[in-house]
Amino acid sequence: MPELPEVETVRRTLEKLIVGRTISDVTVRLPRIVRQPSIDLFAKNLMGKTISRVDRRGKFLKLFCEPWVLISHLRMEGKYRVVKQGEPLDRHAHILFHFDDGEELRYYDVRQFGTMDLIPAGQENQLAPLDKLGIEPFDPGFTLDWFAKQMSQKRTRCKSLLLNQEFIVGLGNIYVDEALFSAGIHPERQAASLTLDELKRLYQSIIQTLSSALEAGGSSVRSYVNGAGEMGHFQVNLQVYGRKGEPCKRCGHSIERKVVAGRGTHICPKCQQILAPSVK
């Protein structure tokens, strides 16, 4: 699933490609992608509307076409491309937004898990699950003091907690594994067991990992591309994720994979000790 760096990269790309363009028509080839309103109203409400901006909340894209906002969740493999109208249709092209300038925005989704909701602008934060999303790692309120206080109160395992979108939004499997490795913390450690030094390392690792991934355009570990069809490059920098059986780049020990919080999890058992350090 695309995580914060990938979705933000898509947002930035789409912002350059589609803001200011007017939708002349909409073709819905897979109705179940659209959750609301009806398919007829979905197309009718967007016809003649100009895309004014593209925002993001967590892993959700928000395309504003006043008085409407289109909330799009890419799920596992959703992606957007801007192409010339009349270009041959891929069977995975499910929604087509036709522009009045001869091009169109196409939504592709091999797994067909993505969703779209068209609702009145101003009501987007009332839409589930956006109404329950937590703080973003780049929000001003995401400070070390806030992070340390919240973590110290949780008896949940670190990986489970960091994956919880109601706690911190935008982190997914790839970047949680990478941040925990960078901080030298085992994913099964209880959050409340972390020392202040470990909390500081983890806080800094989350920000640094996401910042580096954003700079690289995200990670193309499966089929992810941005709105211009370009791959991300952060996958070449991955330290543990997807590297089962390979030597740790830090100590040389073999990277292991286990299931934590229901997700495939990659760790270096030597660099990430399960036991909390003794407090002197």
Give the pLDDT confidence score for residue 77 in this predicted structure.
87
Q: Residue 56: give the domain boundaries.
A: 4-132
Cβ atoms 130, 58 nearer than 8 A: yes
Q: Do 166 and 211 lie in a common domain?
A: yes
111 is in an annotated binding site: yes
Q: Do 89 and 170 lie in a common domain?
A: no
Q: From CA 90, how far away is CA 81, in angstroms rounded?
A: 12
Buried (b) or exposed (e) across 114-138, using 16+ Cβ within 10 A? bbbbbbeeeebeebeebeebbbbbe
Give the pLDDT confidence score for residue 277 in this predicted structure.
62
CATH, residue 214: 1.10.8.50
Q: Do 102 and 163 lie in a common domain?
A: no
Give the pLDDT confidence score for residue 280 in this predicted structure.
42
Q: Establish whether 59 is a catalytic residue.
A: yes
Full pLDDT tens readout for the chain, 280 residues: 678 888 999 999 999 999 999 999 999 999 999 999 999 999 999 999 999 999 999 999 999 999 999 999 999 889 999 999 999 999 999 999 999 999 999 999 999 999 999 999 999 989 989 999 999 999 999 999 999 999 999 999 999 999 999 999 989 899 999 999 999 999 999 999 999 999 999 999 999 999 998 888 776 455 445 455 665 557 778 999 999 999 999 999 999 999 999 999 999 999 999 876 655 4
> CA-CA-CA-CA torsion for 191, 182, 218, 247, nearest 10 degrees?
-120
CATH, residue 118: 3.20.190.10
Give the pLDDT confidence score for residue 6 in this predicted structure.
87
Give the pLDDT confidence score for residue 219 in this predicted structure.
64
Q: Do 35 and 87 lie in a common domain?
A: yes
Query: 49, 59, 159, 201: which one is catalytic?
Result: 59
Give the pLDDT confidence score for residue 3 in this predicted structure.
84
Query: 2, 5, 137, 187: which one is catalytic?
Result: 2
Q: Do 110 and 177 lie in a common domain?
A: no
Q: Establish whether 189 is a catalytic residue.
A: no
Give the pLDDT confidence score for residue 22 in this predicted structure.
98
Give the pLDDT confidence score for residue 104 in this predicted structure.
97
Q: Establish whether 2 is a catalytic residue.
A: yes
Give the 3-state DSSP-derived string for the chain, with helices as H, strands as E and coil as C: CCCHHHHHHHHHHHHHHHCCCEEEEEEECCHHHEEECCHHHHHHHHCCCECCEEEEECCEEEEEECCEEEEEECCCCEEEEEEECCCCCCCCEEEEEEECCCEEEEEEECCCCCEEEEEECCCHHHCCCHHHCCECCCCCCCCHHHHHHHHHCCCCEHHHHHHCCCCECCCCHHHHHHHHHHHCCCCCCEHHHCCHHHHHHHHHHHHHHHHHHHHCCCCCCCCCCCCCCCCCCHHHHCCCCCCCCCECCCCCCECEEEEECCEEEEECCCCCCCCCCCCC
157 is in an annotated binding site: no
92 is in an annotated binding site: yes
Q: From CA 254, how far away is CA 244, in angstroms rounded?
A: 7
Query: 3, 77, 124, 178: which one is catalytic?
Result: 3
Q: Establish whether 12 is a catalytic residue.
A: no
Q: Do 63 and 163 lie in a common domain?
A: no
